[in-house]
Amino acid sequence: MNRLLIAFLILVVTGCSPKSESAPAFVEAKDQRSGSQEKAAEATRRTLAYEHTIEIDTPEDKVAATHQAALAACREASVDLCEVLTSRINAGRQGSATLRVRAKPNGIQKLIASMSKQGEITSQSTYAQDLAGPIVEGEKKLAMLTSYRAELEALRKRPGNDAEALIKVTHELAQVQSELEFVNGKQADLMRRVETEILTINIQSEHGKSFWKPISLALSDFGGSLSNGISSAITGVAYLLPWSIVIGLVLWIGRKVWRRRQAR
């Protein structure tokens, strides 16, 4: 309701204003629209957000070193805005590590080339998401909000406003400014997604395991597997024991009945 009232006041003020005052506002709005169209056209030149995944197989005793090498390579690619998003390493019996980074396209290619020297890349995939729609919609919304804010600013600075109208215009300006900051933040995130790429590095030792590693793991699990087997057997006996009594009782009764019939 407040926005309808303020829009009505803007129309009244615009209609009552001299042509000499409305002309600059029209030129400014036109320049803003043309500027937003140029930004949208520029954004369409690159609207794909790329995400890469590589699987590296390395000897199990080099998983941690390979993970550290990936972190060092990202630090060296600071000129390409490389930053670590996720870093995880599992130093248990089956070592593995995962690293997720974001950088410019050149930095991503440098990282892939650097990691290929640390181990065998067994798998590599690329996924692209087209963000053209959200980017263009965001540009349109920014242009609309910016134009609306300019009109509200002009209305607020106009002499002769009463206190109630000034309060409503100021409140509306605060809401528009909040929406502008929110949309600007979303646009910045979208542009960062299309200007940079994401790389996920999974490090494991499937082919790099030693010959005795599976045997040693099986031997170390022998005690636990034996105890689990015994507990499963005891549980099975506990389940079968009541049924065995019932079945034995049924057979005993059936045999008694059968003997009586045979005696007759």
pLDDT one digit per residue (tens) for the chain, 264 residues: 445 445 544 544 444 444 334 434 433 444 555 555 555 444 445 789 999 999 999 888 888 899 999 999 999 988 999 999 999 998 766 678 999 999 999 999 999 999 988 888 999 999 999 999 999 999 999 999 999 999 888 888 887 777 888 888 888 889 999 999 999 999 999 999 999 999 999 998 876 555 555 556 566 666 777 777 888 888 888 888 888 888 888 888 888 778 777 776
pLDDT at 106: 93
pLDDT at 26: 39
**Neighbouring residues of 76: CB distance < 8 A, sequence distance ≥ 6:** none
- DSSP letter (8 states) at residue 80: G
Among residues 72, 53, 52, the alpha carbon closest in space to that of 64 is found at 72
pLDDT at 5: 47
pLDDT at 1: 43
47: tokens are: 């609207």
Return the ∠ at Cα 155 (arms to 154 and 161), rounded to 5°. 135
Whether the CB-CB separation of 47 and 189 falls below 8 Å is answered with no
pLDDT at 68: 93
The 3-state DSSP composition of the chain as helix, strand, coil percent (nearest 5) reads 70, 15, 15
**Neighbouring residues of 181: CB distance < 8 A, sequence distance ≥ 6:** none
pLDDT at 153: 87
